[in-house]
């Protein structure tokens, strides 16, 4: 196998990155890997330029080592360069929603065996305006926390940094009212909302059941809108997210669609977060390309 590795040395707690040399060494020794081309990212890394070097080079696999943000940067470069090489995501971030959903390994043994098994699955690729995403786009209350938490504090404290930032932000944001307009399948919905998410997989923000009906191969977005309500009701909604029961709560709108436009009617320059990275502002047009991305999954992946 000829592989390219794009590694973010700063993602998460850096455990997987430290084991990379051992993993590569083992796979070279048993002849699984014939050629390995590894590059470490930097803060201002040129993902597009790096991925464009893969054209016509007969790579068998592109391995991404990093958190959701790194994965997002690489898949944008892959899609925009029209690269058709299967991707292996090695989850090394703070939250790793997609990694958990796809049962991707983090141990040395697990990573070696998933590469040897080389089981390819085609998954949907999502886009909002000109930015691709693989797992989730979100906006409103809490959605910008992933963006605001500095990389350094994420590394030092792992997911605790998310909660610390969250606690600081929530009281202020609960008094805000955001009014959104959703257009999908000839329907129009205008509502005051705290937060909405557009999901490809089931998992977001560390909640593995945010979109309990989602299937990453069905060509549909799962949209979860958490409506503005009394703080106690909102707290109830968040508790139900653990079990997936929130989708039946009167303060939640849950829908599936293959097309979606969203506008924020009362706040300019509200950010959209895509897979933990900046995804621009409103109005937002969402597109989904069914099974447009090849990824390696664990042999026990049943989704
Ligand atoms: N060498 C580096 N040093 C510091 N920051 C980097 C480096 N390489 C990339 N980055 C930054 O890391 C960010 C992406 O981090 P990533 O999402 O992979 O990890 P994380 O934030 O720890 O995980 P998660 O997104 O799951 O929370 C990008 O915004 C990118 O600019």
Q: Compute, in angstroms, the gap from residue 240 CA to the centroid of ligand 1.
A: 30
Whether the per-residue pLDDT at 297 is higher than 90: the answer is: yes
Whether the per-residue pLDDT at 189 is higher than 50: the answer is: yes
Whether residues 119 and 136 fall in one domain: no
Whether residues 172 and 99 fall in one domain: no
Residue 41 CA: nearest ligand 1 atom is 8
* Predicted pLDDT of residue 235: 84
Write out the two tokens for 255: 């829908």
> Any idea what the CATH number is for the domain that residue 254 is in?
2.60.200.40
Exposure letters 14-27 (e unless 16+ CB within 10 A, then b): eebbebbeebbebb
| 228 inside domain | yes
Whether the per-residue pLDDT at 139 is higher than 80: the answer is: yes
Whether residues 99 and 147 fall in one domain: no
Q: Compute, in angstroms, the gap from residue 69 CA to the centroid of ligand 1.
A: 6
The helix (H) or strand (E) run that includes residue 283 is none
Q: Which residues line ligand 1 (CB under 6 A)?
A: 8-12, 41-43, 45, 66-70, 93-96, 151, 154, 276
| 257 inside domain | yes
Angle ∠(214,229,247) on CA atoms, nearest 5: 20
Crossing angle of helices 15-29 and 108-117, in 10° steps, is 50
Whether residues 8 and 156 fall in one domain: no
Whether the per-residue pLDDT at 276 is higher than 90: the answer is: no
To test the ligand 1 pocket, which listed residue (6, 8, 39, 278) has its Cβ within 8 A of the most ligand atoms? 8
Indicate the average pLDDT of the chain: 89
Nearest CA to 208 out of 76, 98, 104 is that of: 98
Polymer length of the chain? 303
| Segment of 55-64, 102-111, 148-157, 233-242 carrying the highest mean pLDDT | 55-64
* Predicted pLDDT of residue 69: 87
DSSP assignment of 43-57 equals TT--HHHHHHTTTTS
pTM recorded for the entire structure: 0.90
* Predicted pLDDT of residue 172: 67
Whether residues 259 and 141 fall in one domain: yes
Whether residues 119 and 157 fall in one domain: no
Phi first, then psi: what are they for 20, rounded to 5°? -60, -45
Whether the per-residue pLDDT at 167 is higher than 90: the answer is: no
Q: Compute, in angstroms, the gap from residue 22 CA to the centroid of ligand 1.
A: 22
Write out the two tokens for 127: 């886009």
Q: How many domains does the chain have?
A: 2
| 303 inside domain | no
Just list the catalytic residues: 277
* Predicted pLDDT of residue 302: 45
Distance of alpha carbon 71 from its chain centroid, rounded?
Answer: 7
* Predicted pLDDT of residue 194: 87
Whether residues 114 and 138 fall in one domain: no
**Contact call for residues 124 and 217 (beta carbons, < 8 A):** yes
| 302 inside domain | no
The helix (H) or strand (E) run that includes residue 250 is none
Whether residues 239 and 165 fall in one domain: yes
176-180: average pLDDT: 88
In which domain, by residue range, is 90 found? 2-124+293-297
Whether the per-residue pLDDT at 211 is higher than 80: the answer is: yes
Whether residues 36 and 138 fall in one domain: no
Whether residues 110 and 214 fall in one domain: no
Q: In the structure, what pLDDT confidence band is assigned to residue 151 with cuts at 50, 70 and 90?
A: low
- Sign of the dihedral defined by the CA atoms of residues 54, 59, 65, 68, in that order: positive
- ipTM, two decimals: 0.96
Query: CA 269 to CA 133: how far, in whole Å?
Result: 20
Whether residues 233 and 113 fall in one domain: no
């Amino acid at each position: 196998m000829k592989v390219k590795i794009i590694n973010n040395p700063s993602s998460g707690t850096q455990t997987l990155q430290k084991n990379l040399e051992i993993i590569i060494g083992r796979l070279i020794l048993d002849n699984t890997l014939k050629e390995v081309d590894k590059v470490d990212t930097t803060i201002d890394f040129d993902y597009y330029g790096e991925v464009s070097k893969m054209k016509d080079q007969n790579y068998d696999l592109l391995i991404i080592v990093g958190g959701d943000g790194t994965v997002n940067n690489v898949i944008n470069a892959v899609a925009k360069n029209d690269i058709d090489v299967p991707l292996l995501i090695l989850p090394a971030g703070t939250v790793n929603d997609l990694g958990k959903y796809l049962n991707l390994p983090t141990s040395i043994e697990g990573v070696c065996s998933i590469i040897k098994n080389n089981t390819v699955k085609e998954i949907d690729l999502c886009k909002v305006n000109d930015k691709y995403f693989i797992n989730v786009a979100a906006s409103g209350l809490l959605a910008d926390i992933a963006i605001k938490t500095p990389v350094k504090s994420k590394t030092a404290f792992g997911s605790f940094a998310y909660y610390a930032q969250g606690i600081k932000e929530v009281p202020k944001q609960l008094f805000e009212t955001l009014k959104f307009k959703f257009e999908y399948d000839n329907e129009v919905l205008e509502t005051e909302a705290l937060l909405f998410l557009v999901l490809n997989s089931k998992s977001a923000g560390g909640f593995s059941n945010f979109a309990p009906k989602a299937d990453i191969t069905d060509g549909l977005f799962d949209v979860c809108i958490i409506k503005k309500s009394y703080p106690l009701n909102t707290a109830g909604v968040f508790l139900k997210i653990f079990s997936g029961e929130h989708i039946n709560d009167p303060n939640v709108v849950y829908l599936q669609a293959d097309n979606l436009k969203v506008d924020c009617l009362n706040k300019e320059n509200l950010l959209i977060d895509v897979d933990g990275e900046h995804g621009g502002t409103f109005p937002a047009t969402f597109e989904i390309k069914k099974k447009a991305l090849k990824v390696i999954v664990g042999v026990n992946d049943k989704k």
